A and B are shown apart, each in its own frame.
Chain A
Amino acid sequence: MTRALDLPDAAPRPRALALAAAAAGALLAGRVDRAELVTQVRELCLRTIPVVLLALAFIGVVFEEHAAHEARRALVSLDQAGPMFFELSVREIAPAIAGIVLAARVGSGIAAEVGWMAQSEQVDALRLFGRDLAAELYAPRIAAGMLASMLAAPLGIAAVGLAGGFWAQAFSGGHLAAFVSLRLVTAHDWALLVAKSAASGFAVPVAALHCGLALGGTPDGVARSTAAGVVRGTLWVLAADVAIGATLWWIP
């Protein structure tokens, strides 16, 4: 038997770190399959952002309800809490919830697709024909995930502020302007938003790709890889959130 025919079975499933390094290398070198990138942006980015916005609008109303309850209890004006609410949306609520929704929507999509490709031996076929997996499989999905994350979080801030503000104005006696006020938002908050969004956008597709490739080769692998991709993506989002929050805590 020739060595070439041994290749698919012998090819090891990449570790998450190796996969991330290969994908980052391809992205930095500009080795990205353009057609696949367009497909992934359409599939992962455009279909995910509306879900993120809907989720964050719900969350905006929930947090406004909590703020209104506590403002009533402490006998202070709800509008005093508005700018703090918006600042918290920028530094924490929007990037964290957008990351978790991203893990569910983008993570499940990538893990299921790549898991299916692994099960139906399409990944092995790509390897056999010497195709660049980093450029054709990893990089387009990670780039689309990062784009989704970097767009979803800032748009999500508007969704949280507007939904909370409208709810406050309609039902709690507050004013919309207070809930979209940038008065307390500093460069530090924007830095947290960018760092957390970039980390989520990178970690979620990497976790999903790794689960898809590692678990997808078995008969029930697609389902297992989908669930595992979402769980690991969610954990990475939370861990990155804690790590970035704690690191930037020391920077004035």
Chain B
Amino acid sequence: MRAFLSASGRLVLRVLRGVGAYALLAGRLLIATPRMDGREWLRTVSIAGVDALPLCLVTAALTGALVVIQTGFYVESYGVTSLVGWGAGYALFHEFAPLIASLALSGRVGAGQASDIAGLRAGEQLPALEALGVDIDRALLAPRFWAIAASVVVLAVIADVVALSASLLVAVGLLGVPPGAFLASVHASLRVADAVPGIVKAAAFGLALGACSLRAGLAAPAEARGVGAAARRSLVATLTAILALDMALTGLL
């Protein structure tokens, strides 16, 4: 009983410490945002957005193909070819394109940022900047946070388009659905508003990705081993946050 209470207490303290750390980070980021360094923002957009584009394209294409292969099974069983476009479009816009793209980016962008910040701490560059009077919140953290969030939203929109195009190709090649019928099904049953839930989710995933990666980098031990640990912690925290947000937002949107 005592051991159970002790373990429960430790868990509660750990959760509270985590919540407090994220609240503090959010406060620092909000204060620093109006005067953040624009060049660092652009540099991070180039890393988190442009450099991650190939990964996003490949992931989106595979996701689009996957969705049609699975939809196709039911289409064949029930003979409802006219619904393939709707099924693929709905599943991709509402769920799969933002989710799978964000999960893939958590490895490429999130782990990269976490290890970069941890590396700066391990190499004592971060304390050196602070000693020289540089506000690292304005110079480093806020620009990177907003750059990651913006990049994920833009990449999710691109992922929507690429995934739907891949769906079309697989539907035509594998299921023998005429391209016109696929596009007519998309046009008839999906509106531009159907893309909104996915974009809102992508924005939330992007914010979570930025916050988790920066927090993991800042919390890592200031030593060489901390760099790898920061990447691992960022991955697990981002994964959990994305899936929890997905559940919460699906109910709301």
Chain B CB within 10 Å — which of A58, A223, A226 has the most? A223
Q: Can you give 5 A-B contacts (C-beta < 8 A)?
A: A101-B239, A226-B111, A227-B231, A230-B106, A242-B69
Q: With an 8 A cutoff between CB atoms, is B72 at the interface?
A: yes
Contacting B at CB under 8 A, from A216-252, are: 220, 222-224, 226-227, 230-231, 234-235, 238-239, 241-242, 245-246, 249
Question: Which one of A3-11, A21-29, A61-69, A139-147 contacts B?
Answer: A61-69
* A residues adjacent to B (C-beta < 8 A): 51, 54-55, 58-59, 61-62, 65-66, 70, 84, 88, 91-92, 96, 100-101, 103-105, 107-109, 112, 115-116, 220, 222-224, 226-227, 230-231, 234-235, 238-239, 241-242, 245-246, 249
B58, A245: Cβ atoms under 8 Å? Answer: no
Contact A249 B235 (CB under 8 A): no
Residue of B nearest to A91 (CB): B70
Choice from A84, A92, A101, A226 contacting B115 with Cβ under 8 Å:
A226
Return the chain B residue nearest A220 by Cβ: B119
Stretch at the interface among B23-31, B178-186, B243-251: B243-251
Of B59, B66, B74, B95, the residue contacting A96 (CB under 8 A) is B66
In chain B, positions 59-74 with a C-beta closer than 8 Å to chain A are 59, 62-63, 65-66, 69-70, 72-74
Contacts of A234 in B (CB 8 A): 59, 103-104, 107
Among the stretches B33-41, B142-150, B222-230, the one at the interface with A is: B222-230
- B69-122 residues with Cβ-Cβ distance < 8 A to A are 69-70, 72-74, 90, 94-95, 100, 103-104, 106-108, 111-112, 115-116, 118-119
Q: Which residues of B contact A226 (CB under 8 A)?
A: 111, 115, 228, 231-232, 235
Q: Are the CB atoms of B251 and A108 closer together than 8 Å?
A: no
Chain A residue with the shortest CB-CB distance to B239: A104
Do residues A108 and B94 form an inter-chain contact, with CB atoms below 8 A?
no
For A55, give its contact among B66, B72, B228, B239 (CB under 8 Å): B239
Q: Does B16 contact A (CB under 8 A)?
A: no
